[in-house]
Amino acid sequence: MAVHPIDYRYGSDEMRMVFEEERRLQRLLDVEAALARAHARVGNIPQEDAEAISRNAVTGRVKLTRVKEIEAETLHDLMAVVKALAEACGSSGRFVHLGATSYDIIDTANALQFKEALQIVKQDLFEIEGELLRLAEENMEVVAVGRTHGQHALPITYGLKFAIWAREVRRHLNRLKEGEKRFYVGKMSGAVGTQASFGDKGPMIQEIVMEELGLAPAMVSSQIVQRDRYAELIGLLALICSSMEKFAKEVRNLMRTEIGEVSEGYVEESQVGSSTMPHKRNPINAEKVCGLSRVVRAHLMVALENVPLEHERDLTNSSAERAIIAESFILTDEILKTMKRILKGLLLYPEQIKRNLRLTRGLNMAESVMMRLAEKGMDRQEAHELLRRLSIKAVSEDVGLASVLSEDETVKRYLSADEIRAALEPENYLGTAIEQVRQVLRISREERSR
């Protein structure tokens, strides 16, 4: 019976499969098999015994049900795996888990899961970047009002907005790539990190195991791989989710009835917005992204609390990690795939964008006029104060900025009627916005092709 929403509501089958019980068991068995082969290579155990362990280290022979039966008796999850594997290996079972401590196996298996799960995250980010670059190009010259503090500011283009987001996603891809050398790390160092149980062949055994599994060996460790690595990993997921929330929140705000510049896609034939208000079209996908992002960020605090364990380690991280690792990845997966759907189906409403751009009747162009006055020789501070007073006058008299500008003798000394009109046109005050988008498109496509 499913209890947690990630069992039936959130996350793709692909990501859930990475953390599914039997898949997890197989990863633990993979590490045990690699350890046996390493022992054989350094001459600690016979080759035929290593082959027998490797042959039986599969979930088809080591059943999850049997592991759970043993765990019910031993109250130790990894020892249950060891015993079940030893049973399956017959006489070769005496060499299973030789010299290892539980977290040699667990942390190395964790790294294998991280590697698999982050490939999914990486692909989703790559596709989201692609969607944002498409939107940036398609809307490169769509002029809209920019907003600061929730108030109309200066003109911007939707292309620039999407280009900014695209570069944020690229930074996450770069962070992920750079972090792999710290995330994909395993160990074979024994109960307190001394490798005493492996004798003088400990470094060689660790090197062989990690080479076989495609991981880097921890240079030094205690009973565990140090949890600053895990905190950084969960931190990266939280940061990615925060960016997705940022994008989703912008969609939600721009979708407000009073703004109405964009909208999530909507299935008109069947989608229901409200159980009582038939007219509603709610930003349900963007709201889901924002809500789930809070959960992933909350897991970061737990990951940080797991860093300062006592002495060579205590067990307080174990139970917490059972919850936060899988859940963080699965919810991140849901967030990324939802954001991908939002961007693919995103609707822009050009006429409403134009109406909002001119809603303040020129007040959002006050800086443009101020800069024109400064260019014509007026003191910049005086020009700022003049435009501040004229803006207040336009609001109090309920007229457009053009009206008060055309009547002001100081303005008319510096600017002609045509120059005032030109200064009030949003399309004339975009700076390098379009050129910046073109640069983002060029550089991003070069990076994506590498």
User: pLDDT by residue (tens digit) across 236-249?
Assistant: 999 999 999 999 99
Structure-block tokens of residue 362: 């020129």
pLDDT tens-digit map of 77-107: 999 999 999 999 999 999 999 999 999 999 9
User: Which contiguous run of DSSP H or E holds residue 259?
Assistant: none
Average pLDDT over residues 113-121: 98
Q: What integer best gives the mean pLDDT of the chain?
A: 96
pLDDT tens-digit map of 180-189: 999 999 999 9
Please give the Cα distance from 325 to 111 (Å, whole number). Answer: 11
Split into its structural domains, the chain has a count of 2
* Residue 3 DSSP label: -
pLDDT of residue 279: 76
pLDDT at 281 over 70: yes
Residues 280 and 396 in one domain: no
**Which pLDDT band holds residue 274 (cuts at 50, 70, 90)?**
low
User: CATH number of the domain that 319 lies in?
Assistant: 1.20.200.10
pLDDT tens-digit map of 323-351: 999 999 999 999 999 999 999 999 999 99
Tell me whether residue 95 is in a domain: no
* Strand bridging mode 347-348 / 143-148: unpaired
Structure-block tokens of residue 15: 């990501």
* Residue 157 DSSP label: E
SS3 call for 106: helix
Domain that holds residue 391: 358-428
pLDDT at 404 over 70: yes
Please state the length of the chain: 450
Of 56, 66, 60, 64, nearest in space to 93 by CA? 56
Unique residue bearing structure tokens 């964008």: 353
Of the candidates 348, 380, 397, which is a domain's last residue? 348
Tell me whether residue 42 is in a domain: no
Residues 294 and 375 in one domain: no
Distance of CA 11 to the CA centre of its chain: 14
Residues 362 and 398 in one domain: yes
Average pLDDT over residues 341-370: 97
Of the candidates 326, 348, 370, which is a domain's last residue? 348
Tell me whether residue 368 is in a domain: yes
pLDDT of residue 268: 59
Residues 228 and 254 in one domain: yes
Active site residue 97: no
**Which pLDDT band holds residue 305 (cuts at 50, 70, 90)?**
very high
What percent of the chain shows pLDDT beyond 90? 93
List, in sequence order, the alpha helices (H) in 266-416: 284-305, 316-345, 350-357, 366-375, 380-396, 401-407, 409-414
pLDDT tens-digit map of 50-65: 999 999 999 999 999 9
User: Which contiguous run of DSSP H or E holds residue 445?
Assistant: helix 433-448
pLDDT of residue 157: 98
pLDDT at 269 over 90: no
Residues 368 and 341 in one domain: no
pLDDT at 135 over 90: yes
pLDDT of residue 267: 63
Unique residue bearing structure tokens 């640069």: 439
Active site residue 149: yes
pLDDT of residue 278: 75
Tell me whether residue 55 is in a domain: no
Please give the Cα distance from 359 to 243 (Å, whole number). Answer: 29
pTM of the prediction? 0.95
Of the candidates 313, 348, 383, which is a domain's last residue? 348
pLDDT at 166 over 70: yes
Unique residue bearing structure tokens 């916005």: 433
pLDDT of residue 275: 63
What percent of the chain shows pLDDT beyond 70? 98
- The catalytic residue among 54, 189, 242, 274 is 274
Tell me whether residue 372 is in a domain: yes
Please give the Cα distance from 40 to 412 (Å, whole number). Answer: 92
Average pLDDT over residues 8-26: 95
Distance of CA 173 to the CA centre of its chain: 9
pLDDT at 400 over 90: yes
With the C-alpha atoms ordered 228, 233, 237, 240, is the resulting torsion angle positive or negative?
Answer: positive
Average pLDDT over residues 252-261: 96
Beta strands in 54-182 (DSSP E): 143-148, 151-157
Count the neighbouring beta carbons within 10 Å of the beta carbon of residue 281.
Answer: 15
Residues 302 and 171 in one domain: yes
pLDDT tens-digit map of 192-223: 999 999 999 999 999 999 999 999 999 999 99
Give 59: exposed, middle or buried? Use CB within 10 Å, 0-12, 13-18, 19+: middle
3-state secondary structure 381-444: HHHHHHHHHHHHHHHHCCCCHHHHHHHCHHHHHHCCHHHHHHHCCHHHCCCCHHHHHHHHHHHH
pLDDT of residue 271: 73
pLDDT at 321 over 90: yes
Residues 230 and 336 in one domain: yes
**Which pLDDT band holds residue 250 (cuts at 50, 70, 90)?**
very high
**Which pLDDT band holds residue 308 (cuts at 50, 70, 90)?**
very high
Tell me whether residue 403 is in a domain: yes
Tell me whether residue 211 is in a domain: no
Tell me whether residue 22 is in a domain: no
Residues 293 and 376 in one domain: no
Residues 362 and 342 in one domain: no
User: CATH number of the domain that 402 lies in?
Assistant: 1.10.40.30
Average pLDDT over residues 12-31: 97
Residues 388 and 263 in one domain: no
pLDDT at 143 over 90: yes
Residues 119 and 162 in one domain: yes
Residues 339 and 402 in one domain: no
- The catalytic residue among 12, 91, 102, 149 is 149
Distances (CA, A) of 283 to 47, 412, 423: 61, 48, 37
